[in-house]
A and B are shown apart, each in its own frame.
Chain A
Amino acid sequence: MNSISLAITVLLFASAYFYLGTRASSAQRAAGRRLHSLPHYYGLFAGLLAAIPALLLLTVLAIGDDIIFRSMALDFVPDEVKAAKTYKEVIVLAQITNVVDGINFGEQPQWVHDAAAAWHGWDSTSTTLKTITTLSLSLLGGLFAYRRINPDFRSRNAVERILMIILAGSSAIAIFTTVGIVFSVVFESMRFFALVPVSEFLFGLTWNPQFEGAERAGSGQMGLATYGSVPLFVGTFLISIVALSVAVPVGLFSAIYLSEYASPRVRAIVKPVMELLAGVPTVVYGFFAALTVAPFIRSTGMSLGLDVASESALAAGLVMGIMIIPFVSSLSDDVLNAVPQALRDAAYGLGSTQSETVRQVVLPAALPGVVAAILLAVSRAVGETMIVVMAAGLAANLSLNPLDAVTTVTSQIVTILVGDQEFESAKTLSAFALALTLIVITLGLNFIALQIVKKYREQYD
Chain B
Amino acid sequence: MDTQIMNIVDQPQTLEMSNIPAETVGDVHVERPRMTARNVNVFYGDKCAIDDVTLDIAEKQVISFIGPSGCGKSTFLRCLNRMNDTIDICRIEGTIALDGQDIYAPQVDVVPLRARVGMVFQKPNPFPKSIYDNVAYGPRIHGLASSRTELNDIVENSLVRAGLWDEVKDRLTQPGTGLSGGQQQRLCIARTIAVSPEVILMDEPCSALDPIATARIEELIHELSAEFTIVIVTHSMQQAARVSQRTAYFHLGKLVEVGETEQIFTKPQHEMTHNYITGRFG
Q: Within the complex, are A and B direct neighbours (CB within 8 Å)?
A: yes
Which 9 pairs of residues, A with B, have the shortest CB-CB distance? A349-B119, A351-B114, A351-B115, A342-B125, A350-B138, A346-B125, A351-B111, A356-B141, A365-B128
Q: Say whether A350 contacts B115, CB under 8 Å.
A: yes
Q: B138 touches which one: A264, A343, A344, A351 (CB < 8 A)?
A: A351
A197 CB-CB contact with B under 8 Å: no
Which residues of A are found within 8 Å of B111, using beta-carbon distances? 351-353
A340 to B126, CA, bound (A): 11
Contacts of A351 in B (CB 8 A): 110-115, 118, 138, 141-142, 195
Q: Does B123 contact A (CB under 8 A)?
A: yes
Given A348-B83, A349-B83, 11 new contacts (CB under 8 A): A343-B128, A346-B121, A346-B125, A346-B127, A349-B192, A350-B115, A350-B195, A352-B141, A353-B111, A364-B127, A364-B128
Interface residue from B118, B129, B195 paired with A364 (Cβ < 8 Å): B129
Q: How many Å lie between the Cα of A344 and that of B125 in the bound state? A: 9
B61 at the interface (CB under 8 A from A): no
B55 shortest CB reach to chain A, Å: 21
Q: Check A349 against B81 for contact (C-beta < 8 Å).
A: yes
Interfacial residues of chain B within 176-200, with CB under 8 A of chain A in the complex: 188, 191-192, 195
Q: How distant is the Cα of A109 from the Cα of B138 in the complex, in angstroms?
A: 90
Min CB–CB distance B106 → chain A (angstroms): 18
Query: Given the known A-B contacts A264-B88, A349-B192, A351-B113, are A360 and B137 also in contact in the complex, defined by CB atoms under 8 Å?
Result: yes
Most buried by A among B81, B123, B141: B141
* Distance from A365 Cβ to chain B, minimum over Cβ atoms (Å): 5
A361 near B127 (CB under 8 angstroms)? yes
Cβ of A263 within 8 Å of any chain B Cβ, yes or no, is: yes
| Residue B266 is within 8 A (CB to CB) of chain A in the complex | no
**Residue pair B121, A350 in contact (C-beta under 8 Å):** no
Across the two chains, which residue of chain A brings its CB closest to B188?
A346
Contact yes or no, A350 B137, CB < 8 A: yes
A→B interface (CB under 8 Å)? 263-264, 340, 342-353, 356, 360-361, 364-365, 459
Q: A347 CA to B191 CA in the complex, in Å?
A: 10
Contact A349 B114 (CB under 8 A): yes
B interface, how many residues as a size bin?
A: 20 to 34
Chain B 56-78, CB-CB to A under 8 Å as 1, else 0, gives 00000000000000000000000
A–B complex contacts, Cβ < 8 Å, 11 sampled: A264-B88, A340-B125, A342-B121, A342-B123, A342-B125, A343-B127, A348-B83, A349-B81, A350-B115, A352-B111, A356-B141
Cα–Cα, bound, A342→B110 (Å): 18
Give the complex CA separation of A340 and B122 in angstroms. 14
Task: Write out the residue numbers on chain B whose beta carbons fall within 8 Å of the beta carbon of A361.
Answer: 127
Q: CB-nearest residue of chain A relative to B122?
A: A342
Collect the chain B residues with CB atoms within 8 Å of residue A349's CB.
81, 83, 114, 118-121, 192
| A360: chain B residues within 8 A (beta carbon) | 137, 141
Main secondary structure of the interface of A (DSSP, over half): helix
Q: How far is the CA of A360 from the CA of B139 in the complex (A)?
A: 13
Q: Could you say which residues of chain A place their CB within 8 Å of the CB of B114? A: 348-351
Inside 8 A of A346's CB, which chain B residues have their CB?
Answer: 121, 125-127, 188, 191
Within 8 A of A (CB), among B110-164: 110-115, 118-121, 123, 125-129, 137-138, 141-142
Interface centre among B111, B123, B188 (most CB of A within 10 A): B111
Pick the most buried of A347, A351, A356: most chain B CB atoms within 10 A of its CB.
Answer: A351
- In the bound assembly, the distance between CA atoms of A345 and B111 in angstroms comes to 13
Do residues B141 and A350 form an inter-chain contact, with CB atoms below 8 A?
Answer: yes
Residues of B within 8 A of A348 (CB): 83, 86, 114
Task: Please measure, in the bound complex, the distance between the C-alpha atom of A345 and the C-alpha atom of B84, giving whole angstroms.
Answer: 10
CB neighbours (8 Å) of B188 from chain A are 346
What distance in Å separates the Cβ of A338 from its nearest Cβ neighbour in chain B?
A: 13
Looking at the assembled complex, report how far the CB atom of A66 sits from the nearest CB atom of chain B, in whole angstroms. Answer: 61
Residues on the B chain within 8 Å of A340, using CB: 125
CB distance from A414 to the nearest CB of B (A): 45
Decide: A263 and B88 in contact? CB cutoff 8 A.
Answer: yes
The residue in A343, A346, A347, A361 that gathers the most chain B C-beta atoms within 10 A of its C-beta is: A346
Report how far A263 CA is from B115 CA in the complex, Å.
Answer: 26
Bound CA span A356–B139, Å: 13
CB distance from B268 to the nearest CB of A (A): 32
Write the nearest CB–CB distance from A452 to chain B, whole angstroms: 15
Name which residue of chain B comes closest to A350, CB basis: B138
* Cα–Cα distance between A15 and B18 once the two chains are bound (Å): 73
CA distance A347 to B86 in the complex (A): 12
**A contact residues around B192 at 8 Å (CB):** 349-350
Residues of A within 8 A of B119 (CB): 345, 349-350
CA distance A365 to B137 in the complex (A): 14
**The one of A343, A356, A364 that contacts B125, using a Cβ cutoff of 8 Å:** A343
* Contact residues in B for A345 (Cβ distance below 8 Å): 83, 86, 119, 121, 125
A340, A348, A349: residue with the most chain B Cβ atoms closer than 10 Å: A349
Residue on B nearest A459 in the bound complex, by CB: B128
Shortest distance between the CB of A360 and any CB in chain B (Å): 7
* B129 and A350 within 8 A (CB): no
Tell me if A344 and B121 are in contact (CB < 8 A): no
**A344–B119 alpha-carbon span in the complex (Å):** 12
For the complex, give the distance between the alpha carbons of A343 and B124 in Å.
10
Please, which residues of chain A bring their CB within 8 A of the CB of B137?
347, 350, 360
Q: How far is the CA of A459 from the CA of B178 in the complex (A)?
A: 12
Cα–Cα, bound, A347→B125 (Å)? 10
Query: Which chain B residue shows the least CB distance to A354?
Result: B86
In the bound complex, residues from chain A placing their C-beta under 8 Å from that of B113 are: 351
Q: Which residue of B lies closest to A340 (CB)?
A: B125
Q: Nearest Cβ in chain B — how far from A302, in angstroms?
A: 48
**Across the two chains, which residue of chain B brings its CB closest to A346?**
B125
B138 cross-chain contacts in A, Cβ below 8 A: 350-351
B195 surroundings in chain A (CB, below 8 A): 350-351
Contact with A along B86-114 (1 / 0, CB 8 A): 10100000000000000000000011111
CB distance from A357 to the nearest CB of B (A): 9
Least CB separation from B128: chain A residue:
A365
Q: Which residues of chain A are within 8 angstroms of B129 by Cβ–Cβ distance?
A: 364
What 1/0 flags go to B32-56 for Cβ under 8 Å of A? 0000000000000000000000000
A353 to B125, CA, bound (A): 18
Q: Please measure, in the bound complex, the distance between the C-alpha atom of A363 and the C-alpha atom of B126, giving whole angstroms.
A: 15
Please give, as numbers and ranges, the residues of chain B lying within 8 Å of A343 by CB-CB distance.
125, 127-128
**How far, in whole Å, are A292 and B129 apart by their CA atoms in the complex?**
48
Of the listed residues B88, B119, B125, B192, the one surrounded by the most CB atoms of chain A closer than 10 A to its CB is B125
**In the complex the two chains form, what is the Cα distance from A350 to B120 in whole Å?**
9
B121 surroundings in chain A (CB, below 8 A): 342, 345-346, 349
